Structure 1
Amino acid sequence: MSDAVLLERRGEIALVTVDNPPVNALGQSVRAGLLAAFQQAEADPQVRAVVLVCAGRTFMAGADIREFGKPPQAPSLPEVVEAIENATKPSVAVIHGTALGGGLEVALSCHYRIARRDAQVGLPEVKLGLLPGAGGTQRLPRLAGVEKALDMIVSGTPIRAPEALEFNVVDEFIDGDLVEAGLAFAQRLLADGKGPRRTGERNERVQQAGLAELIAHKRGEVQKRLPGQFSPQRCIDAVEAATQLPLRDGLVRERELFMQCMESPQRAAQIHAFFAEREAAKVEGLAADVLPREVRSAAVIGGGTMGVGIVLCFANAGIPVKLLEVSDEALQRGLDRARSTYAASVARGSLSAEEMERRMGLISGVLDYAALGDADVVVEAVFESLDVKRQVFERLDATCKPGAILASNTSSLDLDEIAAFTQRPQDVVGLHFFSPANVMRLLEVVRGKATSDAVLASAMQLGKRLKKVSVVVGVCDGFVGNRMIFQYGRQAEFLLEEGATPAQVDRALRAFGMAMGPLAVRDMSGLDISHAIRSRQRPNLKPGQTLPTVLDHLIAAGMLGQKSGTGFYHYGEGRTAQDNPALPAMLEQAAAERGITRAPVEDEEIVERCIYALINEAANILDEGIAQRASDVDVIFLNGYGFPAWRGGPLFYADSVGLARVLERIREFHQRLGAWWQPAPLLERLVAEGRRFADL
C-alpha cells in the first residue's frame, strides 16, 4: 500500500481512501495504492464490499501533470480499472468535487457511483490532444448512451451531477459525510443482495438502432466545426468501437487510437498550451512575500459593451460592483444590458433565475464619482482617448480612498501617461479585458513603470478570482496582443490590395485554424475603431513604412462593418456576410495609389504573411521585455485571439515549423515588400545560435 492510499476495514466493508493533495491526481503512487487496496480487499474473506472515497476538496481530478512527458511507470491506469471492474465484490465510488479524466474512468470501473449534488464529472483529454485511454470511451457510452458520451468526450466539457444522474453516470445523490454515505450505500447493497454490476457488461445502450447514422453525423459536424483537429475524430472512432466490438476488443482499439494521439504533433502543442497557462501565473521579479490588497468591492466607469461585461465579471465572482455613467439614460441602458445578458443565460438554461437575481443584486448604478470613494478597485472602460482618460483618472485621484487600485482597460494607450494623471501612479495598473469581457478568458495585466508590487500581485489575484487567464505585460502601443494583431491585420489589408478577396483571406486563415478570419473580426469590432487606432499611429511610422488605404476608403464611404451593415463584407438579414459590391473598385483604387497591379494571391502566402508577421513582432516584443516569456505570448493568442490550441500558439508554431524556415521567408518578404518585414534581431540571433523560442 502506498502513502497516498489507505485501506481500512469497517466491519464487512473495505474503505479505500485516496489522499494525494491537492487534487488526488492519479500519479504512480496512487495507481499502485489503488491496485494493491482492491486486490487486498478481493483476497480478504471478511470483506463483502468496497467503498472508494477521496480526501480533501475533490475526487480524483485526472492524471498527475508531473508525469507528463516522462516514461510510463507501472501499474498503468488501464490495469487498475480492469482490476476494479473485474472484482467479485461490489464497489462504490463516492464522488465529490470533480471526477475528471482518469478519475472518472476509475469511477466508471466501480460497480456503483454516488455523488454530491454539486459534483462534476467529465473526460477532458481532448483538450490536451488526447482521448480517454483507460476505458472511458468504452464504458461511458454503455452508461450514458452513445450520443451523450460523444458530446462529453469530443467537447471535453464536464457535466454537473444532476445531468450525470439523468444519464446514468451516477446512481444517486448523497448529503453529509462522504464516508458515512458510502458505507450506508454499500450496506444497502449487501442487504438487498446486490453484487457487482460491471459497466463493461452493460451493452444495451451501445447496441441500439441508428447508432451508425448518429456517429456519421457527429463525424461530419466535428469536421466542419473543428477542421484539421486530430484527437476529436479519434475520440469518435473510439466511441464507435464501443458500438461494434465487445469490451475487451474495444479497449484494445481505444489504446491504439490513444497512442496515435500521443504521437501527434497536436498533442505536443496542446500539452505546451496547458503548461504555458500555468507558467503565465508566475510574475518575474515579484517577491513571494508581497501581500495583495483585499478586494471586497469594485466599480466600473462606462456602461458600454465592454464596461458592462466587466461589471458582469465582478458580479459573477460575487464582488459587489458599482457602474458609473454620465446620465440617467446611459446608466439605465447599461443596467438593462447587464440584465438582458443574464436573461439570455437563463433562457439557455446555463443560469437559474434565482442566481440571476442574486448577481443583479450585486450591481448598483451611480452617477457621481463621490459614490466610488469606498471601492477597493475601479476599472475605467471609457472611450479610447488619452484626453478622456485624463479626465477620468484626475477625478478618481481626487475621489478614491488611499490604497484603492486604479485600473485602466485601455487596449493600446500608454499606461504610464495615464498613471501620470494621478498623484498615486504606484496604484495604477492596466486590466485589459477582451470583448465580450464576461466570456473571454484572457486578461492582460499591464505593469507600468510605477506600478507597485502589491498592486501587481493584487491584479493577478483578482484575475484569478474573476476566472481569467491573467498574463503580465509591459507598456507599449498595443501591449502584446494588440501590438501583434496590428501587424496581422495590416498584412490582411495589404493582401486585399495586392489581389486577394476578403473571403479568400478569411477562408485561408480559418483553414489554418483561426477561430475567425481577420477581416470578419474587423467588421465585427467596427472599422471606425481600427481607423482611429490607425490614425493615431500614422504620425509615428518609421522610414519606409506605409499603410494600406482600403480602410480609409471604407470609412469615407460610411462603411463601418456590421454596425453600419457594410464593411469588408455586406451584411444581410441575420448578419450573414456577403460580398461587398463596392469593395472591388476601392481595392483597385488603393492598388493604384500604391502603384501596383492586383493579381491572384496563393492561400499559402496569405497564411505565411499573416502568421509570420505575428511571429516577427512577438520576437521584437520579447527582445524589449514587454512579454516575460515566449509561452506568455502563446497564452495571450490562444485565449484572446482565437489562435488554434492544437498549434500551440504563434511561437510554439514557429518552433515547430523551424525558425530557420520562418526567418528565410521573412527575409524574402523584407526584400519584396519593404520595411514592415525587417527581421527581428532576436529571431536572427536564435537562428544563428541554433536555438528556439522554447529555449529562451
Structure 2
Amino acid sequence: MSQYEHLRIKRDERGVATVAIDVRGRSMNVFNSAVMGELDRVAAQLEQDETAKLVIFRSGKESGFMAGADLVPLREMTRSGQIDGVLREGQDLFNRIAALPMPTVAAIHGPCLGGGLEFALACDHRVARRDSSTRIGLPETQLGLIPGWGGTQRLPRCIGVSAAIRMILTGERVSAARAKQLGLVDVVCERDHFDEGLLQLVDELLAGKRPTGVTPGWRTRLLDETLPGRKLVLWSARRQIARKGQHYPALPAALNAVAAGLSHGMTAGLAAEREEFSRIVFEPACRNLLNLFFQQERAKKRDTWVGSDVTSGHKVRTIAVVGAGTMGAGIAQLAATRGYSVILGDIDEAALDRGMEHIGSLTRNAVRKGVFAEAEGDAAIHRIRRTTELESLADADLVVEAIVERLDIKRKLFADIDIVVPAHTVIASNTSALPINEMAAATIRADRVAGLHFFNPVHKMPLVEVVRSARTSDETIADLVEVVRALGKTPLVVGEGPGFLVNRILFPYFDEAVRMVCEGLPVEQIDREARRFGLPMGPLTLLDTVGIDIGADASRTLLSLSAEASPTPERLSDMVAAGHLGQKSGEGFYTYRKGRRAGPAVKADASGQAVPLPETRELGGESLTGVQQRLVFALINSAADCLHEGIVAEPWMVDLGMVLGTGFPPFRGGPMKLAESWGTDQVIGTLNVLSETCGPRFRPSTWFVGERSPGTTSTAKPPVQELPH
C-alpha cells in the first residue's frame, strides 16, 4: 500500500494488516478531513485486497486511540447543508469499514471518544487496555450535540437499547472493565500485556474462533429485544429528560435518532441522526456548550496565561501537601494517582491517620467505579509518604498548604517552609479567600508563591484557581498551570482579591438568598426558583453542603465588598453557635437524616425588614421571577465587578470559572455570556430597578456602564471565535 501522511500501514506474513493512526502535528489523534480521506483510500484498497485476512486499526500515539472529531471547523459552518455533508462523509466511511470483507479489530488504549468510538463500533471486534487512561464513550450531548457518525445506531445494536441510551444521554465515559461488562469490547488486557492480548485475539479470529459475548439477563432481553420493551425504554427515557430537554435540546434529538433506527432500520436511523444533528447545532444551547469546550481547551494552554517565551522554572516531580484534612488528603490522593511522588504532612500522627484513611477510602471507591485498576490504586497509595516534620519537605518541588483558614497561622507556616525547601520550590496556598501577597511576604521567595485553590470535593471538581499575587513570577504561573493540567484539572489564572473569582462572585448570591430568608421567604421557594433557572442546586442547599461555618468565615472576609450592610454574617454565625453547620451536623437551612435532606429547618421568620419582590420581568424571551432576578443579577453584577477590577482579564474566563466551579447552567454559557445575550441595556435597566427596590448593592457595575479598568492581572489571547448566529 502507498504511503500516507497520517497513517502507518504494515502487513505480516499471515495477511494481517495493521493500520496505525498517527495524526501529524497533534498530541492526540482526532478526525479531520485529511485523516478521513486517507482512511477512505485504505478502505477502498482493502475492499479489493484478497490477500488481506484481517485488519487491525490502532493508534500510533501513546496518548490514546482517538479523541473524536476536530470541532474547530464546526464553528465556521453557517448552513445545515455544510453540516450534513460532513456527517455523510463520516457515516459513509464507517459504513465502508463495517462492510469490509475481512474481520476488523479496533485496539483501544487511552481516550476513545465521540467519533473515535463510532469508528471502533464500525469494526467487528474491539480490544481495550486496562488502565486509568482508557475511557470509552460518546460525550457529544455534553457539548450540545449528538453522535453524528452512526453512534446512535451502532451503540444500541452493540450493547442493547437501554444501556446505549444511558451512555448517549449522560455522555458517560466508561473504563475498559466496564466496557467489557457492557459488551462494548470483546477483550480487556492488562497494560503490560496489551500487545500479547491483541495478538491472541487475532490468532483466535484467524482460526475461526469468535470471542464469547455478554449474555444479558431476562429483564434486559425483554427490554432490548422486544418491541414493547424498546417502546418502554424510549418512553421512560423521554420522561426522565423531559424537563432537562427544554434546556438541552440534544437529549430529545438523540432519542429521536435512536428511535428512528429501531423503528425503520439503519439507513433511516442514519438519516435521522444527520437531520437531528443539523437541526440542533445552531441552537443557542449548543453554541454555548461548544464555546465552553473551546474555552476549557484554551485555559489548559500555558500560552494563554503567560508569554510563549516564558520558560518553566523547574519540573515538578514531588508534591508536598501540608494539612491532612479533607482538602489536603484529597489533593494528595489526586497527585498520587496522577503519578507524582507525594509527601503528606500534618502536626500529629492522629491527623495523618485520618488523612490516610480518607485517601484509602477515595482510592477504593475509584477502583470500585473502574476509574483505575486495583494495582494502580495500590501503587498510588505507596507513592505517598507521611510526616510530622517540616524538614521532610526538603525534597518537594511544590508545597501546597491546606491548613486552617487563619492568616496568622498560614504566614507562620510559610515562613517555616521557606527555610527548609530548596530555592526552586513553589509554595502555594489552597486558601479560598485569604491574601496570597501577605503569605508571600513571610518568605524570601515571593516570586515563587501563589494560590492553588482546589474546590471540594477535589476528585470531582474540574476547576483549580491559580492565584497570582503582585510578585508571583510568570515562571511560577507556568509551572502551576502545567501541574494543574497534569492533575487532570482545568487551570484558571486569577488575580488577587477577596474570594478571588468564584467565591467572590458567589458571595452576593449567597448573601441575597440569606437576605430573602430574613425577609420571610421560605427556604424551599428560594432554592426552587434557582433550580428552575437551571442551577444544579439552590443557594441555601449549597450553603448547607459547603458548611455553614465555612460560609460564615467567607462572609466576614467578603463583607467589605458589599455596598450596604448585610445580615448574612450574623445570621450564619448564629447558626454556627447553635451547632447548625449544615449537612455535616444534620441541620442547617434544612434538616438531614442519614445525609439526605428531610425538610426545611429554618422557617420563614421575617426577622429582617420585608422587601417587595420585583415584578416578573421578560429577558431574552423568558420570564424571570423576582426571586430569580435577585439571585441571578447578584451573580452577574459581581462577575462584572471582577472584570472591572482585573481579577480576570476577559469575560470568557468568568464564564468558564462559574460553570466549572459552581455548576452555573452550562447551556446559558456563563453569567457574562448570559448578560451579553440579554443586552447591556436590559441588564442595566434590570439592575436599576433592583437597586431602587432592594438597595444600592444592585447599582450597575462600572464594567457595564463602560468604564473599563485599564489594568489586568493575566496575559490572554483574544476571545475564541463564537459559532455564528
> How high is the TM-score relative to the length of structure 1?
0.88
Q: What corresponds to 2:6 in structure 1? A: 4
Write the deviation string for residues 557-608 of structure 1: whole angstroms up to 9, x where unpaired.
Answer: 443322333222222344324122x5323xx2222xxxx3677986622222
In the aligned structure 2, how far is the partner of 1:543 from the partner of 1:127?
Answer: 38
Q: CA deviation at 1:142?
A: 0.8
In the aligned structure 2, how far is the partner of 1:172 from the partner of 1:8?
Answer: 23
Q: CA deviation at 1:406?
A: 0.8
Q: What corresponds to 2:57 in structure 1? A: 52
DSSP-derived class of the 1:590 partner: coil
Letter in 2 for 1:671: E
2:174 is equivalent to residue 163 of structure 1: no
Letter in 2 for 1:244: S
Distance 1:679 1:300, change over 3 A: same
Write the deviation string for residues 57-81 of structure 1: whole angstroms up to 9, x where unpaired.
Answer: 3333210133221334666211212
Q: Is the 8 A contact 1:143 1:205 kept in 2?
A: no
Q: Is the 8 A contact 1:277 1:632 kept in 2?
A: no
What pairs up with 1:402-441 in 2 under 5 angstroms? 402-441=423-462
Distance 1:115 1:656, change over 3 A: same
2:32 is equivalent to residue 27 of structure 1: yes
DSSP-derived class of the 2:434 partner: coil
Q: What corresponds to 2:286 in structure 1? A: 267
Identity of aligned residues (%): 33
2:111 is equivalent to residue 106 of structure 1: no
Q: Is the 8 A contact 1:440 1:640 kept in 2?
A: yes
2:322 is equivalent to residue 301 of structure 1: yes
2:297 is equivalent to residue 278 of structure 1: yes
Q: What corresponds to 1:197 in structure 2? A: none
In the aligned structure 2, how far is the partner of 1:394 from the partner of 1:448?
Answer: 17
Q: Is the 8 A contact 2:429 2:451 kept in 1?
A: yes
**Residue from 24, 42, 62 that aligns with 2:68:** 62
Q: Is the 8 A contact 1:280 1:631 kept in 2?
A: no
Q: Is the 8 A contact 2:668 2:674 kept in 1?
A: yes
In the aligned structure 2, how far is the partner of 1:661 from the partner of 1:100?
Answer: 41
In the aligned structure 1, how far is the partner of 2:341 from the partner of 2:70?
Answer: 37
Tell which deviates more after alignment, 487-496 or 53-62: 53-62
Q: CA deviation at 1:39?
A: 2.0
What pairs up with 1:267-346 in 2 under 5 angstroms? 267-281=286-300, 282-346=303-367
In the aligned structure 2, how far is the partner of 1:563 from the partner of 1:185?
Answer: 51
What pairs up with 1:64-463 in 2 under 5 angstroms? 64-71=70-77, 72=82, 76-118=89-131, 119-172=134-187, 189=205, 192=208, 207-208=225-226, 210-223=229-242, 228-281=247-300, 282-348=303-369, 350=371, 352-463=373-484
What pairs up with 1:583-594 in 2 under 5 angstroms? 583-585=603-605, 588-591=606-609
DSSP-derived class of the 2:451 partner: strand
Write the deviation string for residues 615-639 of structure 1: whole angstroms up to 9, x where unpaired.
Answer: 2222221222211322121221121
In the aligned structure 2, how far is the partner of 1:536 from the partner of 1:160?
Answer: 43
DSSP-derived class of the 1:406 partner: strand
Q: CA deviation at 1:360?
A: 2.2
In the aligned structure 2, how far is the partner of 1:483 from the partner of 1:681?
Answer: 16
Q: What corresponds to 2:521 in structure 1? A: 500
Distance 1:53 1:679, change over 3 A: same
Write the deviation string for residues 443-474 of structure 1: whole angstroms up to 9, x where unpaired.
Answer: 10001111122211111111112111111000
Tell which deviates more after alignment, 131-140 or 339-348: 339-348
Tell which deviates more after alignment, 546-555 or 265-274: 546-555
What pairs up with 1:572-583 in 2 under 5 angstroms? 572-580=593-601, 583=603
Letter in 2 for 1:250: G
Q: CA deviation at 1:163?
A: 3.3
Q: CA deviation at 1:185?
A: 6.3
Q: Is the 8 A contact 1:141 1:205 kept in 2?
A: no
What pairs up with 1:522-671 in 2 under 5 angstroms? 522-538=543-559, 540=560, 544-548=564-568, 550-551=571-572, 553-555=574-576, 557-580=578-601, 583-585=603-605, 588-591=606-609, 596=610, 604-671=625-692
Distance 1:661 1:694, change over 3 A: farther
Letter in 2 for 1:99: C
Unpaired stretches in structure 2, ≥5 consecutive residues: 211-220, 617-623, 709-717
DSSP-derived class of the 2:316 partner: coil
Write the deviation string for residues 281-326 of structure 1: whole angstroms up to 9, x where unpaired.
Answer: 3444434341241222222222221121122122222222222222
**Residue from 477, 485, 496 that aligns with 1:475:** 496
**Residue from 42, 45, 48 that aligns with 1:40:** 45
In the aligned structure 2, how far is the partner of 1:646 from the partner of 1:51?
Answer: 39
What pairs up with 1:681-692 in 2 under 5 angstroms? 681-685=702-706
Q: CA deviation at 1:260?
A: 2.9
In the aligned structure 1, how far is the partner of 2:645 from the partner of 2:411?
Answer: 27
DSSP-derived class of the 2:257 partner: helix
DSSP-derived class of the 2:75 partner: coil
Q: Is the 8 A contact 1:300 1:310 kept in 2?
A: yes
Q: Is the 8 A contact 2:612 2:693 kept in 1?
A: no
Distance 1:561 1:171, change over 3 A: closer
In the aligned structure 1, how far is the partner of 2:337 from the partner of 2:76?
Answer: 39
Write the deviation string for residues 643-669 of structure 1: whole angstroms up to 9, x where unpaired.
Answer: 122222222222223333222211221
Q: Is the 8 A contact 1:472 1:628 kept in 2?
A: no
Q: CA deviation at 1:4?
A: 3.0
Between the two proteins, the alignment pairs up a number of residues equal to 677
Q: Is the 8 A contact 2:241 2:252 kept in 1?
A: yes
Letter in 2 for 1:411: S
Letter in 2 for 1:290: T
DSSP-derived class of the 2:126 partner: strand
Q: Is the 8 A contact 1:142 1:205 kept in 2?
A: no
